[in-house]
Structure 1
Amino acid sequence: MLLLEETSGIPLTKEIAIKYSPVVEMVASLHALSAPELHPNRSRWTKSTLASMDTDLRDELLFFSDHTMNWAFIMDLVGYIEQGEVTSMKAFLAHLANMSDVDFCYGIFSGLVPRRTLAHSITSTDHLLEQNSEIFRYYVPEKFARYILDNLEEYRHRLVSVLDWYWHEHFADIWNTIGVSEISALATERKLLELDGPAQYIENCHEQVHVDRTGIRVGRQLELFYRNDEIKRINVIITSFLTPHFMINCIDGCLTIFKGVTFGQATAEIPPEIELFLKAIGSPMKLKILAELNVSPKTTKELADILQVAPSSISVHLRAMRDADLVYPQRMKNEVYYNLLYENYQAHLSFLEHLLDTP
């Protein structure tokens, strides 16, 4: 859900995870491209990017902009998918392509239509729209919902194709340029959370957000209220392309806040994240671990068996990689698998590649 641009001090006892995501940043950039006049701080970038695109890609972007409220509903879908800790663009696109029709519609309709309702009525568009008329009148435009329901396979195929196209032709290079700054901004946001406390931090995400004893309230033109008993955890995903807009949604008890951040001007100073990166790759064994994780996620024991070293040694290396945001642990049943965050690895390499470039 998209909103255009007094602290309570009330305790907020929810788990808050602050994240960044190449996927979220990419879709946020598409939101900026869809309405350049509303993003004056990105005017030069939007103008040059649109001019560099071929006609087919521009037409596809315009199609999805028109059918998704300037990509706002795709942001909700991405936030929903991100709950599963998708760790790379490749994994995200594969997940998006293989979602069930019910799960896809549940995410793109912002979690407002119950899964059971979708499962029973997804092939009967008129019945589904009539049964949920209030949702499709006030939150999800009926014309948009009808097109998706009537063209599910084609719509999802086009969405996967255009995102894959845009990423490889345009946004991968942008991410390599801003990735390290995003990682640095993440560290700053986590310090702010620690200093301000949960309630104050959430209120500072945007001037329209207010926290009280009953929950989180958002909005002026359109007021949203999320009760405390509805919220199980909170994901704050930072993005440099969303400002001055603000997006928020709650699906399956996970409140996702897309927070706009501004990066400072580039300086000659080396970000501390680069030091952590160099430590994380600074031995043959660490590089071997990364190479194995690039093939597939693995447990500590699997890595130890493959590389014939003690599990305790692998754990030390993985800890350094976690500190540098190069790997992500994901629990599956009784095992913890480590995933390579490939786009982060590429962003650090790009920073180093351009470090000695002549200004």
Structure 2
Amino acid sequence: MSVTIDITGLPHERIAFCPSPLAELGAALHALSAPAHHPRLHAWTTATTAGLKPELADRLHEADFMWNSTRSDILLPAQPRETLAEELDDLDRMDDEKYVGSALEISCNSMYTHGARSPLVDQRMRRRALDLAAARGPRQAAFVERMLTDPPGTRAWIRRLLEDCDEAFFADTWRRVRVELAADARHKTELMRRKGLAEAVGATSPAIALEEDGAGSRIVVDKLVQGRTRTEVSAVTFLPTAFGWPHLFALYTPGWQPVVQYPIPGRELAGAASVDEVARRLEAVAHPLRMRLCRSLARGASTTGELADAYNITAPEVSRHLAVMKKAGLLTTQRRGRYVLHQLDVSVVARLGSDFLESVLR
């Protein structure tokens, strides 16, 4: 599974790497609302939460469905600006239908990515949004009702909330991280100029790659979702983030310019396993007999014959199970004369839990 951004025929100068204060504020708000996702930010989330005034904390809690489980598209600008105020001004120029549809897409508009009509103009989508919001509790139901009834007033309330966050903690945070983010964006831009788009895209994350063949060119983001942009992509924006790891966001909704938000180097584990690799490894170790074979293979190198004798099964059966484990990258092998010794790669198995968690949070 993956998100595919079709960039066939798109000039490379239409692909930009640039930091965004609004996107970074969205990432910071997510870290505050879901600190378990971000153990590396524990000191920052703890100190920032402790310093919030109760009134601001309550307002953040009221609107956190826009950044808690994932991130609303309105928080990932396709045209980053120098200041948060400029990006909020751009949001103000967005029409109500697009703004409200995006704001509610995470938990109240599951058909949003399929190009469904806005709940402001479609009664069926309105009822659906309200029903899904009610399942999340009275707080979210009341907020969604207010957004559908008074979009301008609710949008102004959200802007004031983000401005108050900027004043309370984010302005200082942005001053500290913007230099690092700008340096990363410049590095990727220069890499694209000197070595090509594939090098620049690959440097953003091990989970992003450029695919080129006779059918065209595509940016492929390895995620546990399936998505594809339409072919009329006019530009692509990459947003570096210091708060994002382990998440990797790809905005590919119809009607929006594609945006990818990626964690900057040094905050992401190098060599992260792909979703397919994680699935193969989980499947390999889930089999009861292969779990028992792992016990022997973790303690030392063994031949196929030794394993067959130890577990009272045939050598061909052992070979079939070892082939599955080897394909999943769980084994190392070495030859000694006419014997082949197999051993469990303990370092790979030790990373399996973190690789799985990163795959589902990516």
TM normalised by structure 1 equals 0.56
Distance 1:219 1:149, change over 3 A: farther
Residue 165 of structure 1 is matched in structure 2 by 164
Q: 1:226: Cα distance to partner?
A: 3.3
Most deviating of 188-197 and 23-32: 188-197
Residue 239 of structure 1 is matched in structure 2 by 241
Q: 1:190: Cα distance to partner?
A: 1.8
Q: Which amino acid in structure 1 is aligned with residue 224 of structure 2?
A: Q
2:251 to 249, 252, 274: 249
How many Å separate the matches in 2 of 1:245 and 1:64?
20
1:221 to 212, 221, 224: 224
| Aligned sequence identity (%) | 20
Residue 31 of structure 1 is matched in structure 2 by 30
Residues 24, 79 of structure 1: 8 Å contact kept:
yes
**Is 1:92 aligned to 2:91, yes or no?**
no
How many Å separate the matches in 2 of 1:173 and 1:48?
13
Distance 1:218 1:253, change over 3 A: same
Q: 1:262: Cα distance to partner?
A: 4.0
**Is 1:79 aligned to 2:76, yes or no?**
yes
Alignment root-mean-square deviation, CA = 3.6
Residues 125, 146 of structure 1: 8 Å contact kept:
no
Residues 216, 225 of structure 1: 8 Å contact kept:
no
Residues 125, 150 of structure 1: 8 Å contact kept:
no
Most deviating of 143-152 and 230-239: 143-152
Q: 1:107: Cα distance to partner?
A: 4.3
Residues 231, 255 of structure 1: 8 Å contact kept:
yes
Residue 183 of structure 1 is matched in structure 2 by 182
Distance 1:109 1:218, change over 3 A: farther
Larger radius of gyration: 2
Q: Which amino acid in structure 2 is aligned with residue 149 of structure 1?
A: L
Q: 1:37: Cα distance to partner?
A: 1.1
Q: 1:249: Cα distance to partner?
A: 0.9
Q: 1:235: Cα distance to partner?
A: 0.6
**Is 1:103 aligned to 2:98, yes or no?**
yes
Residues 11, 199 of structure 1: 8 Å contact kept:
no
Alignment of 1:271-282 (within 5 A): none
Q: 1:238: Cα distance to partner?
A: 0.9
Q: Deviations over 1:240-290 (max 9, x none)?
A: 1111111011354622111110469xxxxxxxxxxxxxxxxxxxxxxxxxx
SS in 2 for 1:72: coil
How many Å separate the matches in 1 of 2:157 and 2:143?
16
Q: 1:28: Cα distance to partner?
A: 1.1
How many Å separate the matches in 2 of 1:20 and 1:192?
16
How many Å separate the matches in 1 of 2:61 and 2:265?
26
Q: Which amino acid in structure 2 is aligned with residue 77 of structure 1?
A: I
How many Å separate the matches in 2 of 1:125 and 1:146?
14
Residues 181, 263 of structure 1: 8 Å contact kept:
no
Distance 1:187 1:210, change over 3 A: closer
Residue 19 of structure 1 is matched in structure 2 by 18
Alignment of 1:281-300 (within 5 A): none
How many Å separate the matches in 2 of 1:153 and 1:253?
21
Distance 1:183 1:207, change over 3 A: closer
**Is 1:59 aligned to 2:54, yes or no?**
no
How many Å separate the matches in 1 of 2:55 and 2:37?
24
**Is 1:44 aligned to 2:64, yes or no?**
no
Distance 1:87 1:106, change over 3 A: farther
How many residues align? The count is 240
SS in 2 for 1:218: strand
Distance 1:144 1:218, change over 3 A: farther
Q: 1:185: Cα distance to partner?
A: 2.1
Q: 1:170: Cα distance to partner?
A: 0.7
Q: 1:177: Cα distance to partner?
A: 2.0
